[in-house]
Structure 1
Amino acid sequence: MKKTRMFPFERNRYFYGKLLTVRDFESEQKYFNDKRRLLNRLLFGSGVVAGMQVVPVDDKTITVEMGVALDYLGREIVISSPVTLKLSMIEGFTNNEYKKNVYLYAAYDEKGREPVHSVGNSSVRGEEVNEYNRYLESYRLFVKEEPPAPASFEHAGLLEDIVTLYQDSHVRVTQRMPKYANPGDVVDVVLIVEKTLQTPRVSLAFDYSAEGFDPLGKDGSSVRFLEPGDSQETEYRHSYSVKVQDKAGTVGKLTLRPEALELFIGDNRIPIDHTVTHGVDIIEQPVAERVLKDWYERPLDQAVEGYADQHVCLAKIGLLQLGPTYMIEQVERVPFGEYIPNASLMQRITLNGRSSSLNRFYAEAKAYDLSYGSTPELDVVYHPERNAFDFKLGIPKPQAIHDEIATGMLEVPLEKNAKTGLRLFSRGQRNFVTEEIAHGLGTGHVTIVVGLEETPKADAAVGSDGERVYYGAVDVFKDTEYEAELPGVSFGTLVYPDKGTFRIGMKLKDTAEISSLRVRWWAFKKLHDGVESSIPADIAEAIAFSQAAASEEK
């Protein structure tokens, strides 16, 4: 299509006896094609109209479904039947590196068809000449391995100020702000991290300085992004908000200096050697009116041909390297939002939205975990362009208890034998078995630990040792300062898992001077299989000690 400002549209004028030549027939087709494409370009824009879904068939093959799109010159791209291709066979795909993202594009393409003998040319040239009898308005699929520049899309320059913080063959970090803002507006700054699937975890932290803006949120002018450890995405978006100051007619600036910016890819810190600055025009005029003004006042040649080299991106395809080859891991359809909406549908959506959203606010909420014992956090961001509040609530995690513990104490009296003067269990026996004791942990298997409790004497000096509990063999402390005034007792336990009860069996190994035994028991029950026990260290040591002592006695 020729530049319309330099070449006005012409159409044939027919009259009886007019001699029609090739030029006349070509002009006839060109007139309608160019005018239709001009209107397509200016009224509808560019992008996918319907269909053209990209679907992975297997690890190396994709299918592009039937569909219609308009390119950036207003030409119709029609895929009339599904196309299945191996990715390696598509134009532009190279085999030098597989751990990457590739971008599948569709472009308008004309192809000659039906070659026929040209009588007129052969009479001039003196040899047989063939010419194509038809043009097939077709398409071309090809791959690019570099992502398009964020500002290369038509509407990006009208709506947003986009800066690049860092870019290499595997990672690109950009940041976006609205190009215009009104005083008092709260605007979102969007940080976008694009990466390949096999690129290590990305983290970013920086402090920004602002002129014409006030930071919002609990972090002030500090921004932190950390890629989730279990995620498998190729793009992440992190937003923070600033409030526009009442300085109409000025340019607000948000600056990121390299010394205040830390970018890590895996364990490697990436040096940033340039300053990044956003410029936002603070205006009194409504932002939508200003954007429309810029749109309608753009030069016609820019509107028609300013993006002639741009093509419609159908998919971003994430690849994983598998040894000497690759596999398709993800397919993101129309990754840059190049769609052409239906005008009547958009009108209905707009009307329904207006009738139902007047004087109504919307809320979006996200919750995230905080460590146990932290103070709950609440961060609220208001989006005036859609009457929406964004609530972010930090909730402390509950205390993790993976085992249940119960304890109790029972006192077993010892009777004095009138003949021998020795104190034994009732009926003069050295062995004693308690009644069933309910541990309170319900049915199921439990572990029981039993110990002897010694209380301090009433006349004990101030500052002396207080209450003691001995687990395992008491006689190991004999002839030490920790020797117990307790008889040697062997313990055994009998557990009834179906009842939730147990018995304690005791055996006196030597004589006893005291009138009763104070027996302290602990019951432990595992709640979740495969979770590390949370038994206190001192109790765990007592269990191990008692088990070792029991095996030694045997």
Structure 2
Amino acid sequence: MKKSRYYPFERNRYFYGKLLTVRDFESEQKYFNDKRRMMNRLLHGSGVLTGLQVVAVDEKSVSVEMGAAIDALGREIVVPSPMTMKLSMMDGFSNNQYAKNVYLCIAYDEKEKEPVHAVANSSIRSDEINDYNRVLESYRLFIREDAPDPASLPLANLTDQTIVLYQDKHIRVLQTTPRYVNPGQLFEMKLRFEKTLKVGRVSFQYELDATRVEAINGKRIVFQEPQDSQESEYEMTVLLRADSTANVKATVGVLADGAALMVDDKQLELQVQSVGEIQIVSEAVKERLMSDFVKQSLEASLEAPSEPCVYLAKICLIQVGPTYVIESVEQVPFDEYVYNTSVMYKLSQASQYREETSGQFVTKSKVKTLAPGQKPELNVNYNHAISELSFDLGIPAGGGTGLAGIVSGYVDIPIEPFTKIAVSPFGRATKSFYSGEIVHGLGEGNVLIITSLEERSGDAFSDMLAAGDRVYGGAAAEVFKGSEFEPDAPEVKIGTIAYPQKGTFRIGVKVQQTNEPSNVRVRWWAYSAEMASAASGSSVGGASGDSLDEALSAMREAASAGSDAE
């Protein structure tokens, strides 16, 4: 590791008559550069600021989009235009092995440009001397074929500790545990398996070697790569519980005896040396983590690799004959991002809003019609992603009264205007209109049908007062004529025809003379003695007089009026 000496800071002091040399001008630039880069490193961190997406252009080339980043020394890296390159042409790419994972990295670089004649040097040398007039702050792209040590990544050990359980050219097994937990706390240990695509199926079985930590589902840990999956990374979670003792250290690792890491039928030699350490603390974990962060020394905060870079992508390669092709590209595989304060503020607001509204949800309902005779259905679903509670209700065609063997419904019969029709002895013109066949849903056999005239006012105010619906039975039109309760519909007489073998019936209405088209709505109830007997547990057959009387009574009560009956 390299500690960058940005400090102590020195700046030029100017006075009249001061002789300025190259050293003075370089010191001027270094003063401002070092201060800015130190603040970049401490305030923002390192990683991708914006852009820099890596896209596979073809089977052997990738393109890096324009964007910006900050490296571990606080230096700005800017890609001003897209750059497309073949992997085989990049530094660090070797052609001796094609089935592998490689990492595309970007690093800060400086290039001299604009050669000019150096006047001062020509006085002491006879040949022509040139020097460069500008320094271009640029970048370089290169390939690393080995995955980085987890501890070398920015803020790697701030909240978690990641150790390597196994690593070779094709497989790496990592274990991640939290740095701090509270006594008795449940927490997760994560196992991550990284592999190349051409490697066979990976399985890992071992006994957990732990002190002051209990495995909830047993100490035997088993991972088996899915049969039909072709991924380069898998993650497994193991639930653990910390000891009840505070201010002690717990350890988690692999018991070497009996551990087996397999690729298909081949067992790999597992040499486990690393052990994860977890501190069991009494204070709040967040407070302890923040305390560690602000109390660390300046030198520790500015630590950086000797050759800092940002990992832009993990590129999975597979071998095809004597060459390779790009199978997939994973963006910023180690989550090296820099978020500015405005973004963090917006994200915190969005997170707070989600927490406040997490207990609220929207309800939606939908009603569908089922075939006659089917049982009613009710399905309730909750979509957690959009906080929506939906009710799907299915009602059999023909409705129902809630009584066994009785169903109810209505039919609208269109009435056309007429004048010259057969005249009755009283001199009034009349005409009959009929419905189509209606399926009552009680099956074949004799049924009892009762009808009534139903009327809706269509007045929103009346609907709010529950006075918008009226059902007239018997000779209601004649009885209520001239009163405030007189029906608005034409004066009608209602008749029914049943078809026992078909399980249907038809309704007809005889209407007095009318000059305007309209609809007559007829409410009907149908009763089957056989279905009522079956529902009550009695033998199927003809209904007794008592059951028929009870049905008639119930139907009349439901209709709230006398009616014509078949």
Query: What displacement does 1:260 show?
Result: 2.9
Higher mean C-alpha displacement, 205-214 vs 49-58: 205-214
2:440 alignment counterpart: none
1:109 alignment counterpart: 109
Distance 1:139 1:63 in 2: 15
Pair 1:182–1:173, CA change in 2 (3 A):
same
Pair 1:349–1:111, CA change in 2 (3 A):
same
Distance 2:321 2:270 in 1: 32
Contact 2:73 2:308 in 1 (8 A): no
Distance 1:4 1:79 in 2: 24
1:291 alignment counterpart: 289
Pair 1:139–1:272, CA change in 2 (3 A):
same
Q: Secondary structure at the match of 1:220?
A: coil
Q: Secondary structure at the match of 1:157?
A: coil
**2:246 pairs with 1:248:** yes
**2:216 pairs with 1:208:** no
2:120 alignment counterpart: 120
Q: Secondary structure at the match of 1:146?
A: coil
1:315 alignment counterpart: 313
Distance 2:133 2:202 in 1: 56
1:234 alignment counterpart: 232
1:47 alignment counterpart: 47
Contact 2:4 2:73 in 1 (8 A): no
Q: Secondary structure at the match of 1:351?
A: helix
1:436 alignment counterpart: none
Contact 1:154 1:307 in 2 (8 A): no
Query: What displacement does 1:73 show?
Result: 0.2
Pair 1:4–1:170, CA change in 2 (3 A):
closer
Aligned counterparts, 1:353-392, within 5 A: 353-357=351-355
Query: What displacement does 1:9 show?
Result: 1.0
Q: Secondary structure at the match of 2:38?
A: helix
Distance 2:259 2:167 in 1: 15
Distance 2:142 2:98 in 1: 17
The one-letter code sitting in structure 2 at the alignment partner of 1:210 is A
Distance 2:30 2:52 in 1: 27
Output one character per residue of 1:117-142: Cα deviation in whole Å (capped at 9) or x when no partner: 10101212333211100000000000
2:268 alignment counterpart: 270
Query: What displacement does 1:280 show?
Result: 0.5
Contact 2:107 2:308 in 1 (8 A): no
2:141 alignment counterpart: 141
Query: What displacement does 1:181 show?
Result: 0.8
Pair 1:84–1:222, CA change in 2 (3 A):
same
1:84 alignment counterpart: 84
The one-letter code sitting in structure 2 at the alignment partner of 1:92 is G
* RMSD (Å) for aligned C-alpha atoms: 2.1
2:323 alignment counterpart: 325
Pair 1:226–1:84, CA change in 2 (3 A):
same
Distance 1:272 1:3 in 2: 35
Aligned counterparts, 1:304-453, within 5 A: 304-357=302-355
1:16 alignment counterpart: 16
Contact 1:257 1:275 in 2 (8 A): no
Query: What displacement does 1:113 show?
Result: 0.1
Query: What displacement does 1:105 show?
Result: 0.4
1:35 alignment counterpart: 35
Q: May I ask how many residue pairs the two structures share in their alignment?
A: 360
Query: What displacement does 1:6 show?
Result: 8.2
TM-score (norm 2): 0.61
Q: Secondary structure at the match of 1:11?
A: coil
Contact 2:91 2:143 in 1 (8 A): yes
Query: What displacement does 1:148 show?
Result: 0.3
Query: What displacement does 1:143 show?
Result: 0.3
The one-letter code sitting in structure 1 at the alignment partner of 2:231 is E
Distance 2:54 2:6 in 1: 40
Aligned counterparts, 1:455-470, within 5 A: none
Distance 1:64 1:151 in 2: 27
Output one character per residue of 1:266-312: Cα deviation in whole Å (capped at 9) or x when no partner: 21011324355321100012212222222222222232233343310
Higher mean C-alpha displacement, 65-74 vs 351-360: 351-360
Output one character per residue of 1:303-336: Cα deviation in whole Å (capped at 9) or x when no partner: 2233343310000000000111000001001000
Query: What displacement does 1:242 show?
Result: 0.6
Aligned counterparts, 1:164-179, within 5 A: 164-179=164-179
Pair 1:71–1:128, CA change in 2 (3 A):
same
Aligned counterparts, 1:492-531, within 5 A: none
**2:64 pairs with 1:64:** yes
Quick one: which of 276, 279, 295 aligns to 2:277?
Answer: 279
Structure 1: give runs of 5+ residues left out of the alignment: 363-554
Distance 1:361 1:196 in 2: 43
Query: What displacement does 1:358 show?
Result: 5.5
The one-letter code sitting in structure 2 at the alignment partner of 1:113 is K
Q: Secondary structure at the match of 2:123?
A: helix
Larger Rg: 2
TM-score (norm 1): 0.62
Output one character per residue of 1:525-554: Cα deviation in whole Å (capped at 9) or x when no partner: xxxxxxxxxxxxxxxxxxxxxxxxxxxxxx
2:98 alignment counterpart: 98
Query: What displacement does 1:349 show?
Result: 1.6
Tell me the percent identity.
49
